[in-house]
């Protein structure tokens, strides 16, 4: 009996070693194929070595392949892979929406199943944190199967489980810090982001997030130092523009408006026609009385001339710098340009009327409110909020005239 048990144990050990060796070989072969951009072939190798998803190592390798090299994805529960030539670019295939066969695979379900089987394998928790982080980046607007708040909670929960058992790197620490930053837990965010920087001092986004966290805690000089470092390190134009915007915001807080303006100009050059840059740039140009402010107001207006928020931003910037009449003149110059658009003309009349009301020009204000009311009736129901706004102003004008 003892001999049989020993034989069985020896056989199991031999089988386990052989299985592990086969899995390692599959992962190695897959990595070679990935290096030559044969992503679909790499996936077939991994799938063939573990078709029933019993191996944590193979599952993690498959998921990493899918998350990093898909051409298309359907909410991260189906993925399109393709072998591409060495001289071809994966991003171009994504942008051109190239037709590709979709593979149904649900990483969250697979990883949760394996976690139930191997609860002490903390690489699985790390991989699940990675998965939820990718979901959050692509679906931050509650368009996935779970609300984004739940996705963010899952990022932190899984990364933390792995971290608490020694399974972490700069990326997962960055992810934990990022989720704390989203929830405005700045001290905890700083703790993990500082640790992340020590592991990888060359990742610019960590410095950006640290700068944001310190700025939110009103450690302004520390935030400026980190934001400038992030700006110098960053090479991707859209991220560099966002970093320049943060630097400009910090300089404004420090009352250094000229330096703030310089970085707003850099942000605008790196990423032109960005609403989030044009608004503070217009405000700063009006504050500093730069001759470009009229041109900037026009750029902002043309982003979406039927959007009331655009009018509100421009009006606020002009009025805060005591240029109310110029704002009215700016809108007046747009009447003829957009005379064939009812929604735009309606908004032009409405915001001219509001500005004229604030200047105590009751007659002109009343005329433009009535023009706006008449135009809005063409495309809004009578219970729309815009009519309540117009009524509140015209009722106030009647009382002022008495």
Rounded distance, CA 227 to CA 250, Å? 9
At residue 59, the pLDDT reads 96
The second-level CATH assignment, the architecture, of 304-402 is Alpha Horseshoe (1.25)
H-run or E-run covering 382: none
Rounded distance, CA 323 to CA 327, Å? 6
Q: Is the pLDDT of residue 226 over 70?
A: yes
The average pLDDT across 331-336 equals: 94
Q: Is the pLDDT of residue 399 over 90?
A: no
Rounded distance, CA 310 to CA 118, Å? 54
At residue 288, the pLDDT reads 97
The average pLDDT across 23-34 equals: 90
Beta bridge partners of 293: none
Which residue reads 């193979």 in tokens?
A: 58
Q: Show Cβ contacts of residue 167 under 8 Å, excluding neighbours closer than 6 positions.
A: 122, 123, 125, 126
Digit-coded pLDDT (tens) for 62-109: 999 999 999 999 999 999 999 999 899 999 999 887 889 899 999 999
At residue 19, the pLDDT reads 45
Are 129 and 158 within 8 A, CB to CB? yes
Distances (CA, A) of 105 to 48, 51, 79, 81, 383: 14, 12, 7, 12, 48
The average pLDDT across 2-29 equals: 57
Which ranges in 146-235 belong to alpha helices (H)? 148-163, 170-182, 186-199, 204-216, 220-233
At residue 21, the pLDDT reads 58
The average pLDDT across 217-236 equals: 98
The average pLDDT across 213-218 equals: 98
For the chain, give every domain's residue range. Answer: 13-105, 304-402
Rounded distance, CA 132 to CA 108, Å? 8
Rounded distance, CA 10 to CA 3, Å? 10
Digit-coded pLDDT (tens) for 117-168: 999 999 999 999 999 999 999 999 999 999 999 999 999 999 999 999 999 9
For the chain, give the percent of residues with pLDDT over 70: 94
Q: Tell me the average pLDDT of the chain.
A: 93
Are 289 and 307 within 8 A, CB to CB? no
**116-119 contacts, C-beta under 8 A, 24 or more apart:** 118/56
Rounded distance, CA 400 to CA 398, Å? 5
Rounded distance, CA 72 to CA 55, Å? 26
The average pLDDT across 36-41 equals: 95
Between 39-43, 85-89, 245-249, the lowest mean confidence (pLDDT) is in 85-89
The average pLDDT across 240-258 equals: 98
At residue 22, the pLDDT reads 58
Digit-coded pLDDT (tens) for 288-332: 999 999 999 999 999 999 999 999 999 999 999 999 999 999 999
At residue 99, the pLDDT reads 87
Q: At what angle do helices 237-253 and 257-270 cross, to 10 degrees?
A: 170
């Amino acid at each position: 009996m003892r001999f049989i048990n020993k034989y069985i144990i020896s056989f199991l050990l031999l089988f386990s070693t052989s299985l592990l060796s086969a899995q390692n070989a599959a992962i190695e072969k897959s990595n070679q194929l990935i290096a030559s951009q044969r992503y679909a072939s790499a996936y077939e190798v991994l799938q063939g070595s573990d078709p029933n998803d019993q191996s944590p190592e193979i599952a993690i390798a498959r998921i990493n392949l899918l998350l990093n090299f898909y051409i298309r994805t359907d909410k991260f529960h189906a993925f399109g892979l393709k072998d591409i030539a060495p001289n071809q670019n994966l991003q171009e295939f994504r942008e051109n929406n190239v037709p590709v066969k979709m593979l149904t695979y649900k990483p969250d379900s697979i990883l949760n199943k394996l976690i139930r089987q191997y609860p002490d394998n903390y690489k699985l928790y790390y991989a699940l944190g990675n998965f939820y982080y990718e979901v959050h980046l692509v679906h931050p607007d509650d368009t996935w199967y779970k609300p984004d708040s739940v996705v963010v909670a899952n990022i932190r929960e899984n990364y933390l489980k792995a971290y608490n058992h020694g399974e972490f790197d700069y990326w997962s620490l960055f992810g934990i810090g990022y989720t704390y930053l989203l929830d405005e837990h700045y001290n905890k965010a700083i703790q993990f982001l500082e640790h992340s920087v020590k592991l990888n001092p060359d990742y610019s986004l960590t410095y950006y997030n640290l700068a944001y966290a310190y700025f939110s805690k009103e450690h302004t000089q520390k935030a400026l130092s980190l934001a400038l470092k992030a700006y110098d390190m960053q090479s991707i134009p859209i991220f560099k523009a966002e970093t320049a915007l943060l630097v400009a915001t910090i300089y404004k807080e420090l009352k250094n408006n000229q330096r703030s303006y310089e970085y707003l100009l850099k942000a605008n050059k790196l990423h032109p026609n960005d609403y989030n840059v044009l608004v503070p740039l217009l405000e700063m140009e009006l504050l500093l009385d730069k001759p470009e402010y009229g041109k900037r107001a026009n750029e902002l207006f043309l982003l979406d001339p039927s959007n009331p928020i655009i009018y509100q931003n421009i009006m606020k910037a002009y009025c805060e710098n005591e240029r109310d009449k110029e704002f009215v003149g700016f809108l007046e110059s747009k009447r003829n340009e957009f005379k064939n658009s009812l929604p735009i003309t309606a908004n032009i009349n409405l915001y001219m009327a509001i500005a004229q009301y604030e200047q105590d020009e009751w007659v002109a204000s009343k005329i433009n409110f009535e023009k706006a009311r008449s135009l809005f009736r063409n495309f809004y129901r009578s219970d729309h909020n815009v009519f309540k706004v117009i009524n509140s102003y015209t009722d106030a004008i009647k009382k002022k005239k008495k």
